[in-house]
Amino acid sequence: MPQITIDGQRIETSAGKTIIEAALDNGINIPHFCWHPGLSVSGNCRMCLVNTGFPRKAADGSFERDENGNSVIGWGPKLAIACATPVAEGMVIDTKGERTEHAQNAIMEFLLINHPLDCPICDEAGQCKLQEYGFLHSKGQSRYNEQKNQKDKRVELGPNVMFDGERCISCSRCIRFADEVAEQPVLTFVQRGDHVTIETFPGTSFDSPYSMNVIDICPVGALTSIDFRFTSRVWEMSFTDSICPGCSRGCNIKVGVRNNEILRLEPRTNMHVNQYWMCDDARLTQYKFVNENRISSPMIRSGNTLAPTTWETATARAAELLKNYKPSEIMVIGSAHGTNEDNYLLAKFAHSTLKTHNVDFFRHLDNHFADTFLRTNDRAPNSHGIVEVGVKHEPSSGVSMDTLVERIKQHAIKAMYVMGDDIAANSDFASALTGIECLIVHASNHNATTALAHVVLASTTYAELEGTFTNMNKRVQYVQPAVATQENERIAGLQMSRWDKFGASNDRWARGERRNCRQNWQIIQNIANLFGADWNYSDSESVFKDIANHIGAFSGMSYNLLQEFQGLTLGKADSPEPKGVVYQSHTLKPN
Amino acid sequence: MNVTKNTEKDRLNFWEKLYLPEIARGLGLTLKQMFKPPMTRQYPEERWEPTGSYRGRPVLVLEEDGERCVACSLCSRVCPALAIEVQAAETTKEKERYPVKFEINMLRCIYCGFCEEVCPEEAIVMSKDYELVFTNQEDAILGKDKLLIPIAQLQDRLEFLRRYK
């Protein structure tokens, strides 16, 4: 275990680590552009140059001391790059001294020679590594009077990634990402010297399902998202930690919201789940349904149309309809898109209030979506969790999804309570559901099932709820609201951008819709109470406490622990996996 | 008890307390003013033309090939009253970005000029326009149609900025 000294701080580290890794483990951030913990070391940006040395020894082998008794350091003849220099016993590293600072200033000046400084146009502005270091390690004025290099400014490297050659500082992070992580080695440097730029090999396109991660790791604004380009400045959005609902991997994400609309999704580092990455499909598809085609209030059917109504009327109607049927005639369908809390109360509602054994859920399997990296074949975030909390087929007595169509046709099932899933998207169900007497649906978006429903209860999407998802590796992860509804607008801790915080009714920029939707468990509680259940869960946390008390696998878990450790594995709440150092390359600083 | 007295009775001398001489003196002052040139102006027939340093309604500079603004939203960020809303979009021009929507809520604007000061393109400047009357709140939100002013009309301000900013 080599002992090293960084800026006067004695650090014990393990052999084989580089200086930058040892520093990061101990909370010291050495400026860098090209180094990324998820990629190989390339050492080409030279930003992480540090002054290194060793205590000088006298001829007799003892350490030389100055007049104050401190050891005399023999500094190296040249600075070393912290990203590629392994630590050695007794090494002394200076990351802030005059010599290091001089080098950092020089590197910044060098990088800025050909950088266009079009920050007002650039999407990266506000979370740019070059801007940040320009502020910290640069003189603020240029000595370069010559013409800057002109390069191509709008090159589509792939269907989702736009490249601006002038902004590029040639750190090669994207090239290494394509080679090592996306495993689609199509990017390369071409030309030499200050003419160097990045291209795809002729006839290829950077269309890997993970290509958009290069936008996040690009330390400048050279790579931008074609989907997002110029939609918003980063500081106008609020970023809320969340979990991707696109598949059972449960990638940790950040949700960027402005004016109550999701504008983009970004990955969030979690070394136990998705490391630093997420897939393009999720980035492009998992936010639009939150913004568009929403059911913004509960509805009940009158004749051929669904009419908006109040929550009291809708829940009373749902309860009234359900009371007409025998328990064995009612089918309750949970949702793998719902949280553990939602499904726990749904199972409790079915078993103890409706007293039916017909409980099951629909699996969203898609083998074409799966790959060997992050994407899985289960397109719902919580299939494992809902089985744990009790939404599962009872083989002895209950009706399952497989026999449901047949039972509806036999009129054995006359009423259905569907939480969240669009089961009518499946054509078999669609034809069967037209013949059902009572269909009560929780839904966030208009779809084929809501078109057939008798009562539609407006539910939240993943971006508006508080709860937990259990991923394919049985890791329970916490989700919090990023988008405001009429219900959650005033809850403590909702992240809001400056726009959302200070907007008044006469501001056009603050008119994002606040929908009248509720979390599934709240709706279920209201209906159950009309059956005389007398539940009084005040928030998602109280439901989760109930789960933790009643279901063994969840025992010991709490929202605080889930947030602290970025998720806990079922049954292992006492021995959480250490969170480790969470590296975020560059993000918006709190403003 | 330590009481400081400063009543009107203490302050006035004998002649002032008599009242009538003071009335005459006041009327004399009024009479003198009547023969001096007036300080007021016959607005709106007579209008005041402010100098380049005047901070009137903020406007966008319109050049021959379109607006200067690149929709960087710095004005909107720096605005202490949150009066400005900018929505950017992409164009095929050399400056890739332009404001598809630019609105200033004149009910919020406090004429501080921070937007002009922060603007990296000298695209938003304070004009000489001080005549702002609205009959409802929606009218007070000025869009690009009202904000874009040809550069020829803004020369005084641009000259002032060049010299003193």
What pLDDT score was predicted for residue A428? Answer: 87
Contacts of B67 in chain A (CB under 8 A): none
- Asked if A560 and A541 count as a contact pair (C-beta separation under 8 A), the reply is no
What pLDDT score was predicted for residue A490? Answer: 63
Contacts of A502 in chain B (CB under 8 A): 82
The tens digit of pLDDT for each residue in B23-63 reads 999 999 999 999 999 888 999 999 999 999 999 999 999 99
Res A556 pLDDT > 60: yes
Hey, are the CB atoms on A233 and B107 less than 8 Å from each other? no
Kindly state the tokens that stand for B150: 């040809």
Best of A233, A237, A261 to substitute, by most chain B Cβ atoms within 10 angstroms, is A233
Q: What secondary structure, in 3-state letters, does A544-582 show?
A: HHHHHHHCHHHCCCCHHHHHHCCCEECCCCCCCCCCCCC
- Asked if A210 and A73 count as a contact pair (C-beta separation under 8 A), the reply is no
What pLDDT score was predicted for residue A473? Answer: 94
Hey, are the CB atoms on B96 and A498 less than 8 Å from each other? no
The tens digit of pLDDT for each residue in A529-546 reads 999 999 999 999 999 999
The tens digit of pLDDT for each residue in A61-105 reads 888 888 888 888 999 999 999 999 999 999 999 999 999 999 999
Kindly state the tokens that stand for A129: 């590594």
What is the ipTM score, two decimals?
0.87
- What is the mean predicted confidence (pLDDT) over A393-411? 88
The backbone torsions φ and ψ at residue A468, rounded to the nearest 5 degrees and listed phi first, read: -135, 145
Kindly compute the dihedral angle of the four CA atoms of residues A322, A362, A268, A176, in this order, to the nearest 10 degrees. -160
| Residue A236 sits at the chain B interface (C-beta within 8 Å) | yes
Contacts of A503 in chain B (CB under 8 A): 82
Cα separation, B17 vs A586, in Å, equals 78
Q: Calculate what percentage of chain A has a pLDDT beyond 70.
A: 99
Res A347 pLDDT > 50: yes
Kindly compute the dihedral angle of the four CA atoms of residues B16, B17, B21, B22, in this order, to the nearest 10 degrees. 50
The DSSP output letter for A234 is: G
The tens digit of pLDDT for each residue in B84-129 reads 999 999 999 888 999 999 999 999 999 999 999 999 999 999 999 9
What pLDDT score was predicted for residue A316? Answer: 96
Hey, are the CB atoms on B72 and A229 less than 8 Å from each other? no
Nearest to A230 among B90, B108, B137 (CB): B90
pLDDT band at A491 (very low <50, low <70, confident <90, very high): low
Contacts of A154 in chain B (CB under 8 A): 96
The tens digit of pLDDT for each residue in A150-164 reads 999 999 999 999 999
* Shortest CA distance from B122: residue in chain A: A120
Hey, are the CB atoms on A508 and B141 less than 8 Å from each other? yes
Res A462 pLDDT > 90: yes
Q: What DSSP letter does each residue of A390-405 carry, written as one string?
A: T-S--TTT---HHHHH
Q: Where are the alpha helices (H) located in chain B, listed in sequence order?
A: 8-11, 14-18, 20-34, 74-78, 114-118, 144-147, 155-164
Contacts of B95 in chain A (CB under 8 A): 121
Q: Where are the alpha helices (H) located in A168-221, listed in sequence order?
A: 173-176, 213-217
The tens digit of pLDDT for each residue in A317-343 reads 999 999 999 999 999 999 999 999 999
**CB-defined contacts A:B, below 8 A:** 50
pTM of the predicted protein model: 0.90
Hey, are the CB atoms on A120 and B121 less than 8 Å from each other? yes
The tens digit of pLDDT for each residue in A109-122 reads 999 999 998 999 99
| Residue A498 sits at the chain B interface (C-beta within 8 Å) | yes
Cα separation, A433 vs A26, in Å, equals 60
What pLDDT score was predicted for residue B9? Answer: 81
The tens digit of pLDDT for each residue in A200-232 reads 999 999 999 999 999 999 999 999 999 999 999
Hey, are the CB atoms on B96 and A121 less than 8 Å from each other? yes
Cα separation, A404 vs A422, in Å, equals 15
| Residue A506 sits at the chain B interface (C-beta within 8 Å) | yes
* Shortest CA distance from B76: residue in chain A: A236
The tens digit of pLDDT for each residue in A233-263 reads 999 999 999 999 999 999 999 999 998 899 9
Is the sign of the CA dihedral A204, A209, A215, A216 positive or negative? negative
CA distance B145 to chain A (A): 17
| Residue A538 sits at the chain B interface (C-beta within 8 Å) | no
Is the sign of the CA dihedral A252, A258, A261, A264 positive or negative? negative
Hey, are the CB atoms on B85 and A153 less than 8 Å from each other? no
Cα separation, A84 vs A558, in Å, equals 41
Contacts of B103 in chain A (CB under 8 A): 508-509
Hey, are the CB atoms on A230 and B141 less than 8 Å from each other? no
Res A292 pLDDT > 70: yes
Average pLDDT over all residues of chain A: 92
pLDDT band at A137 (very low <50, low <70, confident <90, very high): confident
The tens digit of pLDDT for each residue in A426-445 reads 888 888 888 899 999 999 99
A window 128-187, beta carbon within 8 A of B: 153-154
Hey, are the CB atoms on B88 and A507 less than 8 Å from each other? no
Contacts 24+ apart (CB under 8 A), A132-136: A132/A586, A132/A589, A133/A31, A133/A33, A133/A47, A133/A104, A133/A108, A134/A108, A136/A31
* Shortest CA distance from B90: residue in chain A: A230
Q: What DSSP letter does each residue of A77-141 carry, written as one string?
A: SS-EETTT-B--TT-EEESSSHHHHHHHHHHHHHHHSS----TTT-TTTTS-HHHHHHHHH--SS
- Asked if A292 and A533 count as a contact pair (C-beta separation under 8 A), the reply is no
Nearest to A236 among B73, B107, B137 (CB): B73
Spell out the residues 6+ positions from residue A331 whose beta carbon is closer than 8 angstroms to its own. A356, A358, A360, A399, A404, A407, A413, A415, A416, A417
Hey, are the CB atoms on B95 and A121 less than 8 Å from each other? yes
- Asked if A19 and A50 count as a contact pair (C-beta separation under 8 A), the reply is yes
- What is the mean predicted confidence (pLDDT) over A13-30? 94
Average pLDDT over all residues of chain B: 93
Contacts of A230 in chain B (CB under 8 A): 71, 88-90, 96-97
Res A591 pLDDT > 60: no
Residue of A209, A102, A108, A134 lying closest to A586 (CA atoms): A134
Give counts: helices (H), strands (E), chain B: 7, 7
Q: Calculate what percentage of chain A has a pLDDT beyond 90.
A: 79
- Asked if A73 and A211 count as a contact pair (C-beta separation under 8 A), the reply is no
Res B150 pLDDT > 90: yes
Kindly state the tokens that stand for B20: 């009538």
CA distance A261 to chain B (A): 14
In A279-362, DSSP assigns E strands to 299-302, 305-308, 330-334, 359-361
Hey, are the CB atoms on B77 and A233 less than 8 Å from each other? yes
- Asked if A104 and A67 count as a contact pair (C-beta separation under 8 A), the reply is no
Element (H, E) at A200: strand A197-200
Q: How many CA atoms lie within 13 A of A581 on its CB side?
A: 15
